[in-house]
Amino acid sequence: VLDFKSQAFYNRFDTNTHNKFLINDFLWNSKNFLSKGGFVNTAEIQVKNTNYKSENDTSLKSAGSINEIAGVLAFRSILPMIKESLNYSNIFSPKAMLRFAPGHMKNLSTNEARLSYSNLFSTNKVQETGVVESGTSAILGFDLSINEKREDENNFEKFSLSLGQTFSLENNFDLPSRSSLDQKMSDVVGEVNYNFFENSTIGYKFSLDHDYSTLNYNEISSELTLGKIDFNLDYLEERNHIGNENYINTGITLNMNESNILTFETKKNYKTESTEFYNLIYQYVNDCLAAGIEFNRTFYEDKDVEANDSLMFKISIKPLGGITTPSLYQ
């Protein structure tokens, strides 16, 4: 499959800084081909042609019109293995990708990009305009899922685990240090999901340092439905090169009936040892109208500054749109 994508845009900021871009991407993906050992293989080629002209932007070249070409070649392979039992279907799939991208790249060492399992096997993990992640690397990982068999033949995924790591031939300090891709061995990244019921689940995303002893990132998200009550909890912790955020979000929703919903939300920031906000929301919903009232109390890090209170009304007429009042008080 051959695909072509072109984008053009103009940026102006800080009064006298101007950037004009024309970026052309040529993408080729092979069809899946099966080896004798049962491996499912694919190949991908991407060529990026970046044309730009910049004025007063220190992060870009400014000597007239600039034309740059970068490319990447990737080969992916996966070996799906299935084990059937009376009540469950278990799938274990080791995965590998070899990636080669010659040449140099723009210095993105301070970029905010983060490595996660969701982008681990991407051809270009750095989502930066006109940039292709350079270097030669191998990515190894696996997916494991345990699926509960049901009478309707629609299997229900009960548990899943995904894990992987990038290995590079050499350090590339132009890549974001926050992502750990600048090192020969990246962090080990992974995801774990367990589904209690259809609408009740807990998920865990993590990043383990390449010394295999330090957790640099923890993210827990959970949803639980008990009758008319929905609970949710989200926890985030960043350490070392990834950052220093640390907070918990919690919420509870009471579905009184099909039309009336009451929700309470709060966020606790453990970095500042403070509560950031409380939200109390009431909604009325029917086939043509959605109306709600929201009370919000926001707290500040400076204890000498009083909390900010606001009350808002919102009405939406489907499909015409909605009206939201300004905050009634502070």
Q: Which of 281, 293, 282, 292 is nearest to 316 (CA)?
A: 292
**152 vs 223, which has greater pLDDT?**
223
Cα 278 from Cα 1, distance rounded (Å): 50
d(CA 186, CA 172) in angstroms, rounded, equals 11
Structure tokens at 63: 């000597």
Give the pLDDT score at 10.
83
**If we measure between CA atoms, which residue out of 266, 272, 263, 230 comes closest to residue 248?**
266
- What's the rounded Cα separation, in Å, for the pair 281 and 251? 11
For residue 281, count other CB atoms closer than 10 A to its CB. 18
Q: Beta-carbon neighbour count of residue 208 at 10 Å?
A: 18
Residue 325, pLDDT score: 58
Confidence at residue 172, expressed as pLDDT on a 0 to 100 scale = 92
Q: Picking from 110-124, 177-191, 246-260, 302-316, which range would have the lowest pLDDT averaged per residue? A: 302-316
pTM of the model: 0.82
Q: Is the pLDDT of residue 326 over 90?
A: no
**Residue 330, pLDDT above cutoff 60:** no
**Closest Cα to residue 189, out of 169, 217, 148, 213?**
217
Task: Give the Å distances, CA to CA, from 243 to 113, 178, 179.
Answer: 11, 7, 10
Is 323 a residue whose pLDDT tops 80? no
Q: What is the mean pLDDT of residues 169-178?
A: 92
pLDDT at 301: 62
For the stretch 48-104, pLDDT in tens is: 988 888 877 777 777 778 888 889 999 999 999 999 988 889 999 999 999 999 988
